[in-house]
């Protein structure tokens, strides 16, 4: 992990910024390593990873880098975010697209966002328009039905949200069969 980090962040010299980037890097690198291991099992049809590292790094850099501070601090923070985004993009491509038929990326505006903030969805692979980024904003209630639809589950009338992937889904995924409910799980004694 350290060698991968050092390659990705070779241009970042400031020790405090490298330290912040390392913390975020470890979070996302671990999640992606677990996802890769999970997806290597042929019995697994769906894998998901929560990757908060870039947002964590961005927030922490904003907190420690005053706008009226030295320009070198602002440049260092900007370079760190660029390096992180480049590393994360490459790692997602390596881990997810090698192992999966499709990749669904959901950009959540985060807990600290106000009511005007919007998320986004991008879908790549089988059942999706090529390199599609949804035109409409994605609400949190849309995510679960959209991901279920993208991996081939029927649309359930009991789930809120439209789950249409912002128009990115095509073929069977765009018009799945409808079921009233997925049913309730029974409790065994």
* DSSP states along 95-155: HHHHH-SEEEEEE---TT--TT--BEEEEEETTB-TTEE-SS-B-HHHHHHHHHHHTTPPE
Q: What is the pLDDT of residue 76?
A: 85
Q: What is the pLDDT of residue 41?
A: 87
Give 100-145 pLDDT, tens digit per residue.
666 777 776 666 666 666 667 777 777 778 777 777 777 777 777 8
10 Å Cβ neighbour count for 123? 28
Q: What is the pLDDT of residue 99?
A: 57
Give the span between the Cα atoms of 186 and 189, in whole angstroms: 10
Burial (CB count <10 Å: 0-12, 13-18, 19+), residue 27: middle
Maximum distance among all Cα pairs of the chain, rounded to whole angstroms: 65
Give 133-174 pLDDT, tens digit per residue.
777 777 777 777 887 887 778 878 888 777 777 777 777 766
- Sign of the C-alpha dihedral, residues 125, 32, 152, 167? negative
Give 7-54 pLDDT, tens digit per residue.
999 988 888 899 999 999 999 999 988 888 888 888 887 778 888 888
């Amino acid at each position: 992990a350290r060698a991968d980090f050092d390659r990705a962040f070779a241009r970042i010299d400031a020790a405090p910024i490298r330290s912040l980037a390392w913390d975020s890097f470890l979070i996302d690198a671990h999640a992606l390593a677990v996802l890769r291991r999970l997806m290597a099992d042929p019995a697994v049809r769906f894998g998901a990873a929560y990757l908060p590292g870039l947002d964590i790094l961005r927030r922490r850099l904003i907190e420690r880098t005053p706008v009226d501070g030295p320009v070198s601090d602002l440049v260092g923070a900007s370079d760190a975010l660029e390096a992180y985004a480049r590393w994360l993009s490459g790692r997602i491509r390596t881990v997810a697209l090698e192992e999966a038929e499709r990749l669904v990326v959901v950009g959540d505006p985060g807990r600290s966002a106000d009511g005007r903030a919007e998320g986004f969805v991008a879908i790549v692979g089988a059942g999706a328009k090529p390199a599609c980024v949804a035109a409409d904003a994605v609400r949190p209630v849309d995510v679960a039905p959209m991901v279920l639809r993208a991996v081939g589950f029927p649309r359930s009338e009991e789930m809120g949200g439209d789950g249409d992937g912002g128009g990115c889904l095509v073929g069977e995924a765009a018009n799945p069969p409808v079921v009233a409910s997925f049913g309730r799980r029974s409790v065994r004694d």
